Structure 1
Amino acid sequence: MSEAVIEVVVVDDDYRVATVHAGFVDRVPGFRVVGMAHSAAEARRVIDEKRPHLVLMDIYLPDGDGLDVVRDLAAEAHAPSVIVVSAAKDVESIRTALRLGAVHYISKPFGFAALVERLIAFQRTLGEIAALPEESTQDDIDRLFGALRPPEPAVRPRVPSMAPTVKLVFDRIAHSGVDGASAAQVAAEAGISRATAQRYLSQLEQSGHIVLTLRYGSTGRPEHVYTTPAARLVR
């Protein structure tokens, strides 16, 4: 199963956020987005039509609660697995998601690195399930449940050990404070091309040195804005 493509449906009430999350998923080898939905009714229809292996489920939907959709899915014979992705941080939502069998719960906003860790953990778990013998031991069971946990964060390299241009890009983000900076702003301030800035920003985000969030204007697509994890904590 670990070599098969894991098909995913992304559910979010905001079309722009759903598109960003779908882009995250499609960047992970072995995963493919097969549908998006922006309401509870549309989620039920798309999931029934596409029969995905995994659903990224928002909670706050315009016509209902995403956890009610999860509850309905759980009653089906071939229910997909669910990762809840929501701004809801209340205990009741978290407790309900656990009770309904969600494999993970990610609070929004989040960056690519946070999602990819959980997708890879889910992919690894499917591989462990496929490899289980007919009669499993407790060690087999412990390994299976442990596979769902994202790996412990690796020790990150100290900023001074970065290549000069990478450190220059990181410094631009660090100096931007809680407001953050876009790729265009970093490129202008660092004196490099936007494509170069974007490449190094992606490397820094995937390594956990910076965090990607979305800044919404009155119209159009949301702007990708980067901050350091420390700056995000003081918001």
Structure 2
Amino acid sequence: MADERDLRVLIVEDDPMTAEAHADFVRRVPGFVVAGTCLSGHDALEKFESFGVSGQPVDIVLLDMNLTDSHGLDVAKRMNAKGYGADIIAITAVRHLQVIRSAISSGVTQYLIKPFTFTIFREKLENQRDFRLNLDGAGAGSLATQASVDNALSALRSVSSGRLPKGLIEETLTAISGVVRDASSAVSATEVATALDLSRVTVRRYLEHLVKTKQAVKQPRHGTPGRPEYEYRWV
């Protein structure tokens, strides 16, 4: 991916076979790599800190709630206190509402209940990537806009099959369609992103949907040799 690097995933699970199964699932999802597996909370905190200090912090932690030496909630709180910016997805058989509420207040962004299928697992990982891209798209130190916040939060929601692909929302599609339709000439993803104060990665996904549904056409922009930037024109 030109605009995205592989996201580093740390797996925290006290059952070795389950930990390896989760690692295998991660390897099957493009754009994600296994940074390490941990069988205890103590080991997880040590590796988490080691990765951060080395300048290669993990992006996502898959965290079991019932560990042999500690509770996942305590591990989540201590990881978030480190300030490395990792997102935590709880993976657990625990269904108690109080634990779920506490997990959310501890910084857990998604809660995946065992057992689950690979399809659901993949969706959670991809939702988390979309969430990070929407928040990070404006660049470090930038102020968030309402649109970027709404898009980031919407990415975490599982979307039932319908007219739009997973991760796309109607309001943003309408706004992007309007910019392309009203432009006097073809526009690039960068130009649309600037006009709406969204990330270019987000805008490009909507533009590709417009092309796929034959509402817009895509062509290389003249004057950009080598690796051309593409532009889009309303049909």
Cα deviation digits, residues 138-188 of structure 1 (max 9, x gap): 223211211222332469xxxxxxxxxxxxxxxxxxxxxxxxxxxxxxxxx
Distance (Å, rounded) in 1 between the aligned partners of 2:62 and 2:71: 14
Pairwise CA RMSD of aligned residues? Answer: 1.9
Q: Are the structure 2 counterparts of residues 48 and 25 from structure 1 closer, same or farther at C-alpha, using a change threshold of 3 Å?
A: same
Matches within 5 A, 1:74-223: 74-132=80-138, 134-153=142-161
Distance (Å, rounded) in 1 between the aligned partners of 2:28 and 2:90: 19
Cα deviation digits, residues 41-64 of structure 1 (max 9, x gap): 111112122331110000111111
Q: Are the structure 2 counterparts of residues 2 and 97 from structure 1 closer, same or farther at C-alpha, using a change threshold of 3 Å?
A: farther
Which 4+ stretches in 1 moved above 6 angstroms? none
Shift of 1:2: 5.7
Distance (Å, rounded) in 2 between the aligned partners of 1:154 and 1:143: 18
Q: Name which of 71, 76, 97 aligns with 2:77.
A: 71
Name the structure 2 match of 1:59.
65
Under a length normalisation based on structure 1, what TM-score does the superposition of the two structures give? 0.62
Q: How many residues align?
A: 155
Q: Are the structure 2 counterparts of residues 23 and 95 from structure 1 closer, same or farther at C-alpha, using a change threshold of 3 Å?
A: same
Unaligned 5+ runs, structure 2: 52-56, 164-235
Shift of 1:8: 0.4
Distance (Å, rounded) in 2 between the aligned partners of 1:80 and 1:70: 10
SS at the partner of 1:32? strand
Q: Are the structure 2 counterparts of residues 23 and 154 from structure 1 closer, same or farther at C-alpha, using a change threshold of 3 Å?
A: farther
Name the structure 2 match of 1:22.
23
Amino acid at match of 2:117: G
Amino acid at match of 2:28: R
Cα deviation digits, residues 69-91 of structure 1 (max 9, x gap): 00111111214110000010001
SS at the partner of 2:116? coil
Name the structure 2 match of 1:12.
13
Q: Is the 8 A contact 1:11 1:43 kept in 2?
A: yes
Under a length normalisation based on structure 2, what TM-score does the superposition of the two structures give? 0.62
Distance (Å, rounded) in 1 between the aligned partners of 2:46 and 2:66: 17
Unaligned 5+ runs, structure 1: 156-235
Amino acid at match of 1:26: R
1:46 aligns with 2:47: yes
Distance (Å, rounded) in 2 between the aligned partners of 1:147 and 1:47: 25
- Greater relative CO (CA pairs within 8 A, separation 6+): 1
Amino acid at match of 2:98: E
Cα deviation digits, residues 99-122 of structure 1 (max 9, x gap): 012110001111111110011111
Distance (Å, rounded) in 1 between the aligned partners of 2:143 and 2:59: 25
